[in-house]
Copies of this chain bind each other. A is one copy, B any other.
Amino acid sequence: MTAAASRAAAWPVITLTTDFGPGSPYVAAIKAALLAGCPEATLVDISHAVSASDLESAGFVLWAGTRHFSPGSVHLAVVDPGVGTERRPVAVQLGHSFWVAPDNGLLSMLLRESPHEPEAVELRRPEAASPTFEGRDLFAPAAAALAAGQRLRALGQPLAGLVRLDQPSPRVLWVDGFGNLVTSLKPPVGGVKVGPVSVRRAGRTYGAVAPGELFFYTGSMGFVEIGVRNGRADLLLGAEPGPLVQPLP
């Protein structure tokens, strides 16, 4: 174990990403299960409003929100349009960190962007698990066990072939709180076409362009983003997560 992993182990972190909505007692029930299994954990909410109908966008928020946490951290993601239907509950190790989620493609972006080979197990279902609330009864206890130091292999049978969504066509992955469009394009590009609008002005920061002007830049996450100084690109372009974009030469 590295020194960083050892230090983190003393202060385990579990993050939560769900589509339950803010203020849901279901989230509280999951936290109760996490703290029952690992009372010393620090719990961090990533988002409880990711989209269940757009797993690519939900997976982006999960990737963006969890990738900076220290080795040893555990990331619970319950975004599960198919709860109760057939899909495997899994725990996945990438490097020294862990993700616990339904195997429905939600982890695709993490798997694509990680330099590590995933190690995965299919979670064993506790007998008493509610068929309608696996977040509390199946996923949370597994995440707590990992945070408390249990090994991945102790949670279930090894598993190859996680579900991966196809690499999407270039698109808007997420619109941030300021209205900037985060695209799935990586630099370098000569510009970005969003619907009928071609954005060809490049800028390094908001300060580099004129107020009201659309520009593209490489965001802090390494993707090409579209913004406008003193304004909202999403309102100017009518864009939300989903729309296809095109790189310009």
Q: Chain A: residues with CB nearer than 8 A to chain B?
A: 7-8, 10-11, 13, 15, 19-26, 28-29, 31-33, 35-36, 39-40, 42-50, 52, 61, 64-70, 81-86, 130-133, 136-137, 174, 176-178, 204-208, 217, 219-220, 230
CB neighbours of A20 from chain B (8 A) = 176-177
Q: Which 8 A-B pairs have the closest CB atoms?
A: A84-B205, A21-B177, A133-B220, A23-B47, A85-B207, A32-B68, A25-B65, A25-B64
A28 touches B15 (CB 8 A): yes
CB neighbours of A31 from chain B (8 A) = 44
A24 touches B176 (CB 8 A): yes
A24 touches B177 (CB 8 A): yes
B23 touches A68 (CB 8 A): no
B43 touches A205 (CB 8 A): no
B131 touches A28 (CB 8 A): no
Q: State how many copies of this chain the complex holds.
A: 3
A205 touches B46 (CB 8 A): no
Q: In the complex, what distance in Å separates the CA atom of A230 from the CA atom of B29?
A: 24
CB neighbours of A66 from chain B (8 A) = 28, 32
Known: A23-B22, A25-B47, A207-B84. A130 touches B220 (CB 8 A): yes
CB neighbours of A208 from chain B (8 A) = 84
Q: In the complex, what distance in Å separates the CA atom of A244 from the CA atom of B43?
A: 37
A46 touches B21 (CB 8 A): no
CB neighbours of A44 from chain B (8 A) = 28, 31-32, 35, 43
Q: In the complex, what distance in Å separates the CA atom of A130 from the CA atom of B15?
A: 24
Q: In the complex, what distance in Å separates the CA atom of A36 from the CA atom of B73?
A: 11
Q: In the complex, what distance in Å separates the CA atom of A25 from the CA atom of B174?
A: 10
Which of B26, B70, B204 sits near A176, CB closer than 8 Å? Answer: B26
